[in-house]
Amino acid sequence: MEKIDVRAVFSKSGRAVFISHLDLQRTMQRALKRSGLPVWYSQGFNPHIYLNFPLALSLGISSRTEFMDFSVIEEIDFEKARERLDSVMPDGISVTELAKPVHKNQDIASAEYEMKFYGAAGEIFKALERMMSMETIEAEKHSKSKGIVTVDIRPHIEILNTEVCGDHLALTVRLPAGGALNINANVFADAFSRVSGIDFENVCIERTKILCKSGEKFI
């Protein structure tokens, strides 16, 4: 049976940011079943819908641009299929596009985040400047093979924009992502809090872009 690969683009916000990656997989499998789309199932004793998420999102982070790959067994109208799939999604998850995949997972190189650190914005901005002037910024991150490891994230942080607002500092940051090196925004936020000594009142994080090595948007 010939299958056709499909890439879904979706957003995740509100209460949905607290859906773990494992629960997200289950949620998407149920949604695809309810949608009635001609989804391809794996072969064997226990057939199941094959799903692939090119870059998993950390718990508690919202996103405008998440990706999920699946396959169908016949040609579909992408826009009509998008509407059907979106109509059965839970609150906080919205399917914005269906298309044939263009890039491979291995092409992913970085991700951009919009972050808001709530508190005395002026002091937080000064603390950010001090941190970014440091030669090294040590942070703890999880490694599949080694468990918790300490890494220097300073060479890998690119601050694209900062804005001092009334009750928070807003910044846009680009961090490495993908197989070679992955530093998620929570690792950056935790390192910022530790280095600055500031216990932020609240931190809001949204992933806005996933980029390829070429600088193109992943799709």
Report yes or no on 13 lying in a domain: yes
Supply the pLDDT for residue 1. Answer: 63
CB distance 76 to 175 below 8 Å: no
Closest CA to 161 of 208, 102, 100: 208
CB distance 118 to 134 below 8 Å: no
Same structural domain, 25 and 72:
yes
Cα–Cα distance for residue pair 9/186, rounded to 1 Å: 22
The domain that holds 116 is classified in CATH as 3.30.70
Q: What domain range is 77 assigned to? A: 4-101
Q: Please identify, among 101, 133, 149, the residue that sits at the C-terminal boundary of a domain.
A: 101
Q: Which two tokens stand for residue 114?
A: 């919009």
Report yes or no on 124 lying in a domain: yes
CB distance 28 to 51 below 8 Å: yes
Cα–Cα distance for residue pair 25/53, rounded to 1 Å: 9
pLDDT in tens, the chain (219 residues): 689 999 999 999 999 999 999 999 999 999 999 999 999 998 878 888 999 999 999 999 999 999 999 999 999 999 999 999 999 999 999 999 999 999 999 999 999 999 999 999 999 999 999 999 999 999 988 777 777 889 999 999 999 999 999 899 999 999 999 887 899 999 999 999 999 999 999 999 999 999 999 999 999
Domain count for the chain, please give it. 2
Same structural domain, 114 and 86:
no
CB distance 97 to 9 below 8 Å: yes
